[in-house]
């Protein structure tokens, strides 16, 4: 068993993914301790050969998987199904990680903890930052079990190390194109007791792109339907194990769903 499985979903990969893989090749954590799983979803040609040839230039342990079913959630679920690591680290193909990323996260890991790292955003116009980047600059980060106060870091699956045992049978909900990340991370908190923050050397760099899913126009009726179903799903998940979930965390997710609704609605204009 590996210590860490790094799961990277990709669709029509560009040169960005090479920058991502280069950063993984520079990890201070020994190669034998982690594996990299890349899931190509969507068109197979010419991307499969491109990725296969690219991976041959690296010496870390890697596997290339394919699915013709579109969607980052489906790709991540396939990665989870094939993962052999004790811990899971999600990385997006257009982002990159610091040299001490995996080692810094692993040094703070334990089966009951979700380890979070620093976030740096780049590529935005006029100095624009990713919301988590800005949030972490203005919050005192310390080991905590107060998921409600630190709910912002539970909105995305990347920039953290997650015990595979905490994930269990949970998967990303493929019904949703927006909001599924926060739903997934929130749903596994019943197996997590502590949020722990890695040292400053562990940094996740997220690329801000205009074409990201959160900035695309969405059909109004689909947006309304997804908003309703997301709220319903949060309630269902909470009631399934309310003794171990944080009521405050889940109660804040519902307003968050509606806030996201209006943000996406604004994108349609």
**pLDDT level of residue 101 (50, 70, 90 thresholds):** very high
The more confidently predicted of residues 177 and 86 is: 86
**Amino acid 261: pLDDT:** 85
- Mean pLDDT of the 47-76 span: 96
- Mean pLDDT of the 144-151 span: 91
**Amino acid 133: pLDDT:** 73
126: left (phi over 0), alpha (psi -120 to 50) or beta: left
pLDDT over 90 (residue 121): no
Q: What is the pTM of this model?
A: 0.93
Short-list 133, 5, 15, CA closest to 76:
5
**pLDDT level of residue 127 (50, 70, 90 thresholds):** low
pLDDT over 90 (residue 36): yes
Q: Do residues 154 and 185 touch, judged by C-beta distance below 8 A?
A: yes
The more confidently predicted of residues 266 and 213 is: 266
pLDDT over 70 (residue 97): yes
**Amino acid 139: pLDDT:** 67
pLDDT over 50 (residue 154): yes
pLDDT over 60 (residue 268): no
- Mean pLDDT of the 38-58 span: 96
User: How much is the mean pLDDT over the chain?
Assistant: 91
- Mean pLDDT of the 105-124 span: 92
CA distance 126 to 149: 29
Q: Do residues 99 and 181 touch, judged by C-beta distance below 8 A?
A: no
**Amino acid 220: pLDDT:** 84
Residue 163 phi, psi dihedral angles, 5° rounding: -60, 130
pLDDT tens profile 166-225:
999 999 999 998 899 999 999 999 999 999 999 989 999 999 875 544 445 678 888 899
**Amino acid 210: pLDDT:** 59
Short-list 196, 188, 160, CA closest to 172:
188
Short-list 266, 188, 264, CA closest to 226:
264
**Amino acid 134: pLDDT:** 64
**pLDDT level of residue 63 (50, 70, 90 thresholds):** very high
**Amino acid 214: pLDDT:** 47
pLDDT tens profile 226-265:
999 999 999 999 999 999 999 999 999 999 999 888 888 7
């Amino acid at each position: 068993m590996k210590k860490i499985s790094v799961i990277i979903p990709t669709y029509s990969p560009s040169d960005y993914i090479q920058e991502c893989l280069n950063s993984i090749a520079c990890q201070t954590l020994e190669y034998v301790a982690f594996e990299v799983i890349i899931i190509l979803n969507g068109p197979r040609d010419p991307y499969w050969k491109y990725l296969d040839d690219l991976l041959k230039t690296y010496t870390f342990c890697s596997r290339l998987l394919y699915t013709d079913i579109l969607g980052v959630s489906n790709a991540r679920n396939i990665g989870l199904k094939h993962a052999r690591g004790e811990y899971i680290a999600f990385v997006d193909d257009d982002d990159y990680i610091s040299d001490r990323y995996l080692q810094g996260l692993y040094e703070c890991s334990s089966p009951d903890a979700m380890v979070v790292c620093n976030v740096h955003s780049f590529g935005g116009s006029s100095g624009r930052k990713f919301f988590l980047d800005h949030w972490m600059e203005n919050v005192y980060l310390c080991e905590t079990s107060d998921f409600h106060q630190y709910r912002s870091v539970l909105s995305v699956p990347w920039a953290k190390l997650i015990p595979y045992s905490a994930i269990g049978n949970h998967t990303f909900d493929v019904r949703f194109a927006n909001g599924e990340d926060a739903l997934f991370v929130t749903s596994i908190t019943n197996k997590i007791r502590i949020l722990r923050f890695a040292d400053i050397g562990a940094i996740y760099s997220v690329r801000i792109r205009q074409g990201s899913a959160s900035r695309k126009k969405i059909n109004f009726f689909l947006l309304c339907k997804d908003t309703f179903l997301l709220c319903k799903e949060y309630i269902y998940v909470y009631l399934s194990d309310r003794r171990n979930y944080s009521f405050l965390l889940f109660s804040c997710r519902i307003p968050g769903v509606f806030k996201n609704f209006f943000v996406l609605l604004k994108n349609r204009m």
